[in-house]
Each structure stands twice: as structure tokens, then as C-alpha cells.
Amino acid sequence: MTATAEPEVGKARLRKEDARLITGQTKWTDNLQLTGMLHMAVLRSPVAHARIRNIDCSRATALPGVAVVLTGEDFAAEQGSLPCAWPITADMKAPPAPSLAVDQVNFAGEAVALVIADSAYHAADALAAIDVDYDELPVVLDLEEALQDTDLVHPDLGTNKCATWIFDSAETGSGTNVEDEIASAEVVLERTFRQQRLIPSFMEPRSVVVDPSADMFTVWSATQIPHILRWMLAAVSGISEHKIRVIAPDVGGGFGGKLQVTPEEMLCLLVARRMGRPVKWTESRTESMLSAHHGRDQLQKITMSARRDGTVTGLKVELLADMGAYLRLVTPGVPILGAFMFNAIYKFAAYRFVCTNVFTNKVPTDAYRGAGRPEATFAIERMMDELAAELGMDPMKIREMNWIKHEEFPFSTVAGLTYDSGNYEAATARAMELFGYEELREEQERRRSSGDPVQLGIGISTYTEMCGLAPSRVLGALRYAAGGWETASIRMLPTGKVEVITGTSPHGQGHETVWSQIVADRLGVPFEDVEVLHGDTASSHKGMDSYGSRSLAVGGTALVHAADKVLAKARRLAAHMMECDEADVEFATGSFSVRGTGTVRTLGDVVLAAHVAHDLPEGMEPGMDADATFDPDNFSFPHGTHLCATEVDTETGMVRISRYVAVDDVGTVVNPLIVDGQVHGGLAQGIAQALYEEAVHDEMGTLTTATFESYLVPSAADLPAFLTDRTATPATSNPLGVKGVGEAGTIASTPAVVNAVLDAVRHMGVRDIEMPLSPERVWTALQGGQS
């Protein structure tokens, strides 16, 4: 075994995963072909709200290749209700959520019938031959109208209000009473922001294959959560959990959109059980946009109180959050994740958060990159700019006045969290330097005074986020149904090679590379000698999967603990082999040696000795494997300063990002190349919310943006060259010092862009423009009209 001299952690390793991904050697779920496999196609409701009078399947059943056509009635006794794991309050209203509609449809795109056929073509052909008689009901689309309960999404519930969740710093003791602060404030600002509905737009559409053979249900799914999925499939279907194996093969992106237990996964399982044959379902892009969960969709009313010197004294947040028609896995909890982030990096005396969750006749919402935290960050960063404008202060100065100073960590926030670490001054100083803040301000002034048709604006976002989801006791206190721990196993093979099994479930992040780097350093083995296994409940029987920037902070820590267990046992055996006291054994670069002698045993020697087990210390088990499970004490808190310059063409309303600087502090960086990639992709998605993406419904509740022709996802051609850099303030809550990077770019960038656009045109009388800031909206705002 060769020792690695240079540390792997910190090295910009090319990703182990990429060769197979970019040369077509991987197998996506849709590539699976099983003998005797049937294909499932889903008929979806074209209307947003209706009673189903009748479904006539006779024509479809007679078509070539069709094995059977099934409706909700066929599954009424066995399909149960799709799980919602986050009942945020004791009195939360939760409607039954059938996988296949039985007598009522509640959003356009809801599954109404299934064709099971011998090919995907025959299955799709037969959909048009199913005759459904709908008795249409009034549609509920607008959040504020929904709360009047004039028309009800679920009449049995008696209301469209799902739940109201409140945090108040006066009640928890983390701060004062916000109403008192507002009443006595020198400045009070009230603003309303709309977080438009977004579609996660993962690259690989969802796909499921279920094989019911050999006394086992093997489920392949393009999912982020194989472990949770197995648990939930068992709980809902009644099939014993030990008879379900879930495999998430290579998965092409998720962004939270595959953090779900979907109707189609449940239906493939039920159909496979009924037919006794393998079943595959793969969605089209439009089908995905019509039925996979959406993200965001909140109306935010924000009240900020401050002193004239710029000190913020209180923040009141009143949210309406659109659940859509049903509560999926964590639907009601997504806005609650934001509750702890509206105070962001600032020190307020008082904070109150009230969120009302509302049902509408739309696709259910759920986690989407950032999940609650981007919404919060947008609101507070917009408000800081509003306050600066109100007081005529520099927006960066006003942030500096209010943020937590680096010497004040650990810091207990008004929202009840403890930020372990951070250095907002350092990240900001670096960002300002890279950006050329003062020169751009001068350029802005020049364009203003000359009346340049292309105005310049500067937008700031000094963000933080809570990552590393999550301490199990906190999740319990928030009424979440599961824990937040993570596991790792290390299997030392007889030849000294290493297998790592992780309970996290990568779907594009690069865990195989990063986990290998960590193990290589910890055990002193070559990077290439580590194989990382994931996404199969048969090899990793427990795990909490990947979302919320948790995998490295939580799962990486479990990995370090497992490696330490391996080393502890190996050290004991090495001492035995070298006939010395364990305390005299030193370990460096993959070898054990006895202090003061030339005696050496490599880790490989020791592992082999453990494996053959010919001569082990008294009571030692053969083998050199170790498992570890880590439950974090605290979240991690990445932060950073993003600065955006936009050029706004006042004649056309077109916005162009002319400079973007992102200085992020994600703690220790294991692989800078992967971190850069995460930041770039995150920025693209955050910028997309600011400028491009919006799920639009017509007055009938039909999604009118159900293709990439109308739902505008930006490409590299639309984005500037990002200037990225980092500061590194290690997290104190885990041994790696890592904080998580998956959502930082998305969380930070949306307000930076919108602030920049408004900064460019504020002097022309524009105070707000609704997202996305399309050229037409910007131009209309400049004409003095409604944006």
C-alpha cells in the first residue's frame, strides 16, 4: 500500500462518477429492461377540480398490447394515502391523498387512470381511448381568495386553511415583543413579496421499475430518498418492509424534486403486485411539470421596525404558503424551515413569524433547492435594501451595522438557533474587493447623471442558511416524523482495499469522490483504493438520504467516526502484532510503527491479519469493518456575501447581469472543484427565480408553462462568468469543519439580482417588481404601471 503524502481533503479531484456518466456507461432507471416487463402510462386530469362521474375503459382495454386499464376504484381498498411526514401542528388539516384519484380530482395533472401494456407505445396510445366524464367544480387558485373559503378544494375539510404555525420571540424568550418594537419604532416598513411558483426541473425525468419476482419487491427509482421511500412504501402498501428493496441507481438531479414518495412509485408497486410481472413507468417532461411537486409559492407580508440610525429592532413575517391540492412528504414543513432564517445574519430585538398554509387546486408544493430558506433570505435581504433606501444609507453599511460580529460567535439568534461560527466581515471584505464596489458606484452615478438608457444597479445579498439537516431532537420538537442522523460503514477488504457504504443518496453531487478523499486521508490509503456504495437498501440498510445540504456535514461525520473505529481496532491489533504496548503505536500515512524502533506494519498487513484471524488479541472479533451513526448537535451555518451588478435597458426592460461575485464560507472545503460546481449551479437556479422561471396557471387552473419552451430555464449562454471565492471559517459542530454547499448559491443569488435591478431604476420611481423580472414587467414598471 502506498501512502498518500499530500492530503486529499482540499484537492480539486476530478469526479470519479463522471467518466461513466458522460460516456453513457451508466444505467438510469429507464434503461432497465426486465424479462416480461409491462409498461405503465398514466392518464392525467385535464381539469383542476372536478368530480369523476364515470370512467369508461372499454375502448382502451380492447386496443393492441393493452394488458389492463385500471382506475382509482380498482385500488380503493389497497392504495391508502400517500404519506405526509410533517404534521406541523396538532390540528393541521390533512386530506386523504390517494395515488390514483377515486371520485374527485383536485389538480390538473392528477393521476386518474393507468394503462398497463406490453410497450410504452401501446400504453401511451391507449390513454386517448379512456373516456372520463368530469363534473367540473369551481377552482381555487388564489391564496387570499382561498382563505375566504367561498369554494373549497376539499369540501370534507370545511376550509382551505391547512394550518397556522407561529414563532414569537416574546413567547420563547429569545427576544422582545415585535408589536412593542413596531409601536415605538422611528421607522416602520411594510412590504409584500410574492415568491412565484417554481418547477424543480431536474434533468432526468422520474422513472420507476418494480420487479415483484423471487418473493421480493425490488424497486428502482430515480429518487433522492431510497431509505425513506422503502419505509413509506411498506407503511402505505402493507407490504413488509423486509420484502421491499429500493435501489436508486445513478440519478440525474433532484433539487428537492425527488425528495418525495410519489403516486407513481406507489402505483408501480401495486400494479407489479397485482400483475405478478415487472412494471416500468417513465414520465415525459410535460408530465413531470404537470405532476411532480413544485416549489416556493408564498405570499410574504413583512413588517420591519428600525431606528433612524439604521438599527433594525424588529421583524414581523406573515406568510401565506400554497400547499397545492395535497400534502406530500414534507409539504407543510417547507415554509417552516424558513421561520428560523428571516433574521438571517442580523441582530434584532424582536421577531414574530406566522405562516398559514393554504390548499389550492394546483400541483402540491414541496421541497425545492433551499426549501423555505431562499424565501426567507429573499425577504430579509430585500428589506435591508428597502430600509437603506428609506434612510438614504448605503445598503452595505446598513447590513454591517446590524450583523453579528465575528467575535460574537457562538451567537443565540432571536429565532432561537445558535450559530456556532461565522465571519461576515471577512467574506464581505473579499467580495467588495473582487467586485470593485466603489468604482461601480461611480459608474452608476455617471449613467444616472447622463441619462444613459442602460442604467446600472448594484445588488447585495449577505446571507446565511441552516444546513446539515438535522439534529433529531430538533426535528422531533418540530413534529417531523423522522430523525436527522446519518450512517456510514467501512468494510476493509482482505487486500487492503476499502468499501464505503453511505446512507446518503447522491444524485449528482459527487459523494463517491468526496467520501473517497475523506477516507483516503483518514486511513492513509490511495484515493483510488476506495469504492463508495450508496442508494441500495440491500447494501446500506439505513440512512436518511440526501437533501438540505446534509450529506457531508452529517454523513461525512459518520464516515469519519467509522474510519476512527477502524483505526482504533487496527491500532490494537498492530500493537499485538508488533508485541508492544498500544500506547507506543503511532499511525501515519497508512502505517503503524512502534515509537523508537524500526518496526512497521502497514494498515494492509493489519487488515489481512484481522481477516485471516490466525492470531488475534484475546476477545477481538475477526475482520476490520466498522459502522457509525452520527446525530448532529446543531445545524451548520454557511454564509457569504454575493454582489451583483445588472444593466437595465430602460427602453426594452431587458436585464443583463454584468458582474457577479460570490464569496461563500462553507467551512472546510474537501473538493474545491465540486464546491465551485455546486455554487455555479446554485447561482443559475437562484438567478432563474429572479429573472426567468415561473409556473403560470390560467384561470381554469391549467398549467400554461408545461414545456421548456414556456418555462424558461436559463442555460450557460444566459449567465455571466461568475467570480467566486471563499473564506473558510470551519464549523465547530463537526470534526471536518464542513457546513454544506448545495443550496448556498440558490439562496443568496435571487435577492442579489432583484436588489440590483431595483437599485438601477429606483431613482426612476420604481420600488418593486414582481419576480420573475421579465423585460415586459421591468418596462411596464418604468412606465409607472403595475408590474
Backbone angles phi, psi at 463, to 5 degrees: -110, 160
- Please, which residue, 286 or 472, has the CB nearer to another protein? 286
User: Which of 31, 177, 286, 589 contacts another protein by CB under 8 A?
Assistant: 286
For residue 772, cis peptide bond before it (omega within 30 degrees of 0): yes
Q: What's the closest the beta carbon of residue 69 comes to another protein, in angstroms?
A: 17
Q: What's the closest the beta carbon of residue 473 comes to another protein, in angstroms?
A: 45
Q: What's the closest the beta carbon of residue 127 comes to another protein, in angstroms?
A: 9
- Please, which residue, 64 or 138, has the CB nearer to another protein? 64
Q: What's the closest the beta carbon of residue 442 comes to another protein, in angstroms?
A: 27
Name the one range near another protein by CB under 8 A: 30-38, 551-559, 701-709, 732-740: 701-709
Site membership for another protein, residue 45 (CB under 8 A):
no
Q: Which helix (H) or strand (E) holds 658?
A: strand 655-665
Site membership for another protein, residue 692 (CB under 8 A):
yes
Q: What's the closest the beta carbon of residue 645 comes to another protein, in angstroms?
A: 20
User: Which of 284, 495, 597, 704 contacts another protein by CB under 8 A?
Assistant: 284
Residues 305, 306, 312, 318, Cα dihedral to 10°: 10
Q: Which helix (H) or strand (E) holds 641?
A: strand 639-649
- Please, which residue, 54 or 707, has the CB nearer to another protein? 707
Site membership for another protein, residue 712 (CB under 8 A):
yes
User: Which of 206, 779, 781, 787 contacts another protein by CB under 8 A?
Assistant: 779
Question: Rounded to 5, what percent of the chain is helix, strand, coil?
Answer: 30, 25, 45
Q: What's the closest the beta carbon of residue 780 comes to another protein, in angstroms?
A: 7
CA angle 410, 413, 416 (to 5 degrees): 110
Name the one range near another protein by CB under 8 A: 260-268, 433-441, 508-516, 714-722: 714-722
CB distance 184 to 242 below 8 Å: no
Q: What's the closest the beta carbon of residue 717 comes to another protein, in angstroms?
A: 4
- Please, which residue, 44 or 561, has the CB nearer to another protein? 44
Q: What's the closest the beta carbon of residue 651 comes to another protein, in angstroms?
A: 5
Compute how many residues bind another protein; rule: CB under 8 A: 27
Which three-class secondary structure state does DSSP give residue 566? helix
Q: Of 507, 482, 504, 503, which Cα lies nearest the Cα of 206?
A: 507
In 365-453 the beta strands, taken as DSSP E runs, fall at 411-412, 418-419
User: Which of 149, 151, 718, 770 contacts another protein by CB under 8 A?
Assistant: 718
Strands 498-502 and 530-533: parallel
Q: What's the closest the beta carbon of residue 128 comes to another protein, in angstroms?
A: 8
Site membership for another protein, residue 449 (CB under 8 A):
no
CB distance 356 to 161 below 8 Å: yes
List, in order, residues 6 or more apart from 392 with CB less than 8 Å away. Answer: none
Backbone angles phi, psi at 87, to 5 degrees: -75, 95
CB distance 95 to 160 below 8 Å: no
Site membership for another protein, residue 390 (CB under 8 A):
no
Q: What's the closest the beta carbon of residue 121 comes to another protein, in angstroms?
A: 6
User: Which of 54, 148, 412, 652 contacts another protein by CB under 8 A?
Assistant: 652
Q: What's the closest the beta carbon of residue 725 comes to another protein, in angstroms?
A: 27
- Please, which residue, 10 or 65, has the CB nearer to another protein? 65
- Please, which residue, 539 or 702, has the CB nearer to another protein? 702
For residue 410, cis peptide bond before it (omega within 30 degrees of 0): yes
- Please, which residue, 433 or 651, has the CB nearer to another protein? 651
Q: Of 509, 457, 427, which Cα lies nearest the Cα of 673?
A: 509
Site membership for another protein, residue 172 (CB under 8 A):
no
Q: How far is the C-alpha of 758 from the C-alpha of 765, rounded, in Å?
A: 10
Name the one range near another protein by CB under 8 A: 232-240, 419-427, 609-617, 645-653: 645-653
Q: What's the closest the beta carbon of residue 715 comes to another protein, in angstroms?
A: 6
Q: What's the closest the beta carbon of residue 120 comes to another protein, in angstroms?
A: 6
User: Which of 707, 721, 764, 767 contacts another protein by CB under 8 A?
Assistant: 707
Which residues on neighbouring strands pair with residue 219, listed in sequence order?
210, 246
What Cα–Cα distance (Å) separates residue 753 from each residue in 438, 644, 721, 746? 18, 6, 15, 11
Q: Which helix (H) or strand (E) holds 558?
A: helix 557-577
Q: What's the closest the beta carbon of residue 251 comes to another protein, in angstroms?
A: 21
CB distance 315 to 344 below 8 Å: no
Radius of gyration for the chain, computed over Cα atoms and rounded to the nearest angstrom: 28
One-letter-per-residue 3-state SS of 110-136: CEEEEEEECCHHHHHHHHCCCEEEEEE
User: Which of 714, 732, 735, 770 contacts another protein by CB under 8 A?
Assistant: 714
Distance from the Cα of residue 374 to its chain's centroid: 11
CA angle 258, 71, 107 (to 5 degrees): 50
- Please, which residue, 176 or 286, has the CB nearer to another protein? 286
Which three-class secondary structure state does DSSP give residue 763? helix
Name the one range near another protein by CB under 8 A: 172-180, 202-210, 419-427, 776-784: 776-784
Tell me the DSSP string of 680-702.
HHHHHHHHHHHHT----B-TTS-
Cell of 622: 475477526
- Please, which residue, 196 or 780, has the CB nearer to another protein? 780
CB distance 526 to 4 below 8 Å: yes
- Please, which residue, 289 or 670, has the CB nearer to another protein? 289
Name the one range near another protein by CB under 8 A: 243-251, 269-277, 678-686, 773-781: 773-781
Q: Which helix (H) or strand (E) holds 745?
A: helix 744-761
Tell me the DSSP string of 255-304.
TTTTSS--HHHHHHHHHHHHHSS-EEEE--HHHHHHHS-BEEEEEEEEEE
User: Which of 654, 700, 723, 728 contacts another protein by CB under 8 A?
Assistant: 654
Site membership for another protein, residue 764 (CB under 8 A):
no
Name the one range near another protein by CB under 8 A: 108-116, 456-464, 543-551, 649-657: 649-657
Name the one range near another protein by CB under 8 A: 216-224, 526-534, 566-574, 651-659: 651-659
Strands 600-602 and 591-594: antiparallel
Site membership for another protein, residue 354 (CB under 8 A):
no
Site membership for another protein, residue 770 (CB under 8 A):
no
Q: What's the closest the beta carbon of residue 606 comes to another protein, in angstroms?
A: 54
Buried b / exposed e along 468-484 (16+ C-beta atoms within 10 A) = bbbbeebbeebbbbbeb
Site membership for another protein, residue 774 (CB under 8 A):
yes
Q: What's the closest the beta carbon of residue 367 comes to another protein, in angstroms?
A: 25
The 82-121 site mask, x for binding another protein (CB under 8 A), equals --------------------------------------xx
Name the one range near another protein by CB under 8 A: 86-94, 462-470, 538-546, 713-721: 713-721
User: Which of 125, 211, 545, 759 contacts another protein by CB under 8 A?
Assistant: 125
Site membership for another protein, residue 124 (CB under 8 A):
yes
Summarize as ranges the residues that interact with another protein (CB under 8 A).
Answer: 120-121, 124-125, 128, 284, 286, 651-654, 691-692, 707-709, 712-715, 717-718, 774-776, 779-780
